[in-house]
């Protein structure tokens, strides 16, 4: 009798719902799964000849460097600067040649080595899969992070699109006037050796699709540049109607957990064998243009 | 007395030798650390308007697909083909539109799913650091591989620059007429779901630095292409004097072990904190132009 009932139930049951893909999870996410990026944390790079790249800054991880960068943008420091280094499978770098514009007085010339920070206050979501570089990895405050419970320290990680501060040899940390973006496989060996200050959230192709520099380290030949920068501004310094608006997924949300699980277990029609795991930099935090009020869920 | 002797010895001892960087290890490697890539395993893509990309094929991992690709190159199948897909942080893909040239009779239209192979016969060198995707990773026959001791199966992995065969939905495996190269962070979730058949060994920037396609999946708008291919030939089909010659580092060599250790423990002047680990795709197998006989070591 039990068997028959079970069979009847099985016959009546609808087909198991098709698991959602990562992009379906993002598309169907509730508004509560997102946080608005503050306009003082959005930096807009406009290029000569057109095109734009937008960066989200990470003041919770490198406050002095980020304050420097905001001050430099506010002073128009990079207006007329160039992208002068594009190294394949590594980084695109931009900044100002020697003898560039004056640095605002508020800029800290020798910032502290903000290569990591206290774990305390982050309460990261563990990724749940192993990592070759750090005892623990996961996400905190919308960012990819690594941490070490033994030392109580946490750091941002060099994933695709992350932005850091160029520097000379230690103990120099870089003032913030030269920045780079990761355009290749995550160079995680740079973690804890450089100040990471943000990530590209739009227009990454304006940095990743440039011709590679032909000199050592992908530097452009003297007298040539990859692209000239017209202006770099914080969104907070733009007229309100012109400001770009973005949201990052809340990495403490249930939606983000579903997204990571789906990335680790792809069951789209295309996939035969879900990998059962995902590495930190292959689970990028979703970022989107803020939906218009009428279309927000 | 012992103390004095020890002090004297310390004073006399030369400074500890500076550890070699990964590139110094490659530059100083003995000739025995390299294997010549066979001309039938080198495929040369020449573009209309100039430029070249060279691929090393991996017949030990996907013999039927590689035989197909050799036959297609031999028949001039891709002469006049296009790069029609460039998706940022993912892949560049090329091939022939419907109604392209005839496929040689030797081509297997429905190849077996060469997504993995027996571990037996590979004796891989374990990387020594953990991986989010597979129980074991390392290198075998000069290639990055993952394997599962429980199943006795091994597979090539989707690292930067690896080349695979485009396909439709399973059980289709792709005939070999459409190929893609990884141009971003390793999409390891594709491992064991696609036939990997080789890697880019030169001219990767001719694929990675192209404008990204604007349609879904990075496909180019109808009527446009990223780049036209003039000819694809095996090096073995070229006049001997024109053949490019390459060597891949022998991944069973002591030199390769030193190289991996150095990549996991960067001690250049630039680095403050060696990571103590490296992930599989961040330890790419060194490949070089074969040195002229006089300059070989």
Residues 211-230 of B with CB under 8 A from A: 211-212
* Rounded distance between C-alpha atoms, residue B268 and residue B262, angstroms: 10
Inform me whether the pLDDT recorded for B122 exceeds 70: yes
Asked if the C-beta of A184 comes within 8 angstroms of chain B's C-beta atoms, the answer is yes
Measured CA to CA, the distance from residue A113 to residue A261 in angstroms comes to 34
Stretch A188-210: mean pLDDT, rounded?
98
Q: Strands B125-126 and B227-234, how do they pair?
A: unpaired
Q: Is residue A4 over pLDDT 60? A: no
Q: Is residue A47 scored above 60 in pLDDT?
A: yes
Nearest chain B residue to A273 by CA: give it: B193
**Residue A263: enclosing H or E segment and its boundaries?**
helix A254-264
pLDDT of B137-193, one tens digit each? 999 999 999 999 999 999 999 999 999 999 999 889 999 999 999 999 999 999 999
Task: Specify the DSSP element, H or E, that contains A198.
Answer: strand A196-202
B275 vs A130, A189, A266: nearest CB: A189
Decide: B219 and B84 in contact? Cβ < 8 Å: yes
Query: Which structure tokens are listed for A95?
Result: 């900044």
Q: Per residue in A227-267, pLDDT tens?
A: 999 999 999 999 999 999 999 999 999 999 999 999 999 98
Phi–psi pair at B293, nearest 5 degrees: -50, -40
Alpha-carbon gap: B139 to the closest alpha carbon of chain A (Å): 16
Q: What is the pLDDT of residue B294?
A: 63
User: Rounded to a whole number, what is the distance in Å from the CA of A91 to chain B's nearest CA?
Assistant: 12
pLDDT (0 to 100) of residue A173: 94
Say yes or no to pLDDT of B127 above 90. yes
Between positions 143 and 162 of A, the ones with CB within 8 A of B are: 159-161
- C-alpha to C-alpha distances, A146 to A101, A125, A134, A280, nearest whole angstrom: 36, 11, 6, 9
- B63 Cβ contact list (under 8 Å, min separation 6): B114
CATH numbers and ranges of domains, chain A? 39-246 (2.40.100.10)
pLDDT tens by residue, A9-31: 344 455 667 889 999 999 999 99
Q: Is the pLDDT of residue B19 over 90?
A: no
Rounded to 5 degrees, φ, ψ at B283 are -125, 60
- Quick check: B11 pLDDT over 70? no
- Per-residue pLDDT band at A129 (split at 50, 70, 90): very high
């Amino acid at each position: 009798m039990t068997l028959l009932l079970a069979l009847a139930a099985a016959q009546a049951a609808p087909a198991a719902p098709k698991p959602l893909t990562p992009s379906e999870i993002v598309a169907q996410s509730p508004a509560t799964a997102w946080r608005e990026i503050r306009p003082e944390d959005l930096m807009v790079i406009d290029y000569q000849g057109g095109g734009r790249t937008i960066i989200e800054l990470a003041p919770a991880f490198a406050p002095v460097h980020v304050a420097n960068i905001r001050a430099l943008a506010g002073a128009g420091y990079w207006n007329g600067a160039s992208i002068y280094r594009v190294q394949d499978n590594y980084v695109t770098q931009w900044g100002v040649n020697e003898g560039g514009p004056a640095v605002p007085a508020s800029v800290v010339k020798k910032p502290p080595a903000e290569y990591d920070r206290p774990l305390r206050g982050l309460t990261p979501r563990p990724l749940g899969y192993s990592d070759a570089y750090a005892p623990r990895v996961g996400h905190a405050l919308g960012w990819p992070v690594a941490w070490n419970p033994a030392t109580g320290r946490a750091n941002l990680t060099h994933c695709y699109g992350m932005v850091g501060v160029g520097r000379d040899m230690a103990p120099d940390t870089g003032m913030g006037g030269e920045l780079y973006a990761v355009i290749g496989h995550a160079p995680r060996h740079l973690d804890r050796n450089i100040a990471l200050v943000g990530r590209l959230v739009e227009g990454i192709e304006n940095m990743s699709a440039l011709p590679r520099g032909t000199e050592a380290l992908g530097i452009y030949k003297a007298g040539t540049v990859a692209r000239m920068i017209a202006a770099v501004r914080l969104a907070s310094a733009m007229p309100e109607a012109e400001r770009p608006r973005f949201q990052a997924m809340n990495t403490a949300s249930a939606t983000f957990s579903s997204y990571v699980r789906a990335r680790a277990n792809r069951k789209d029609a295309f996939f035969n064998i879900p990998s059962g795991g995902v590495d930190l930099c292959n689970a990028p935090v979703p970022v989107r243009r803020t939906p218009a009020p009428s279309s927000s869920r």
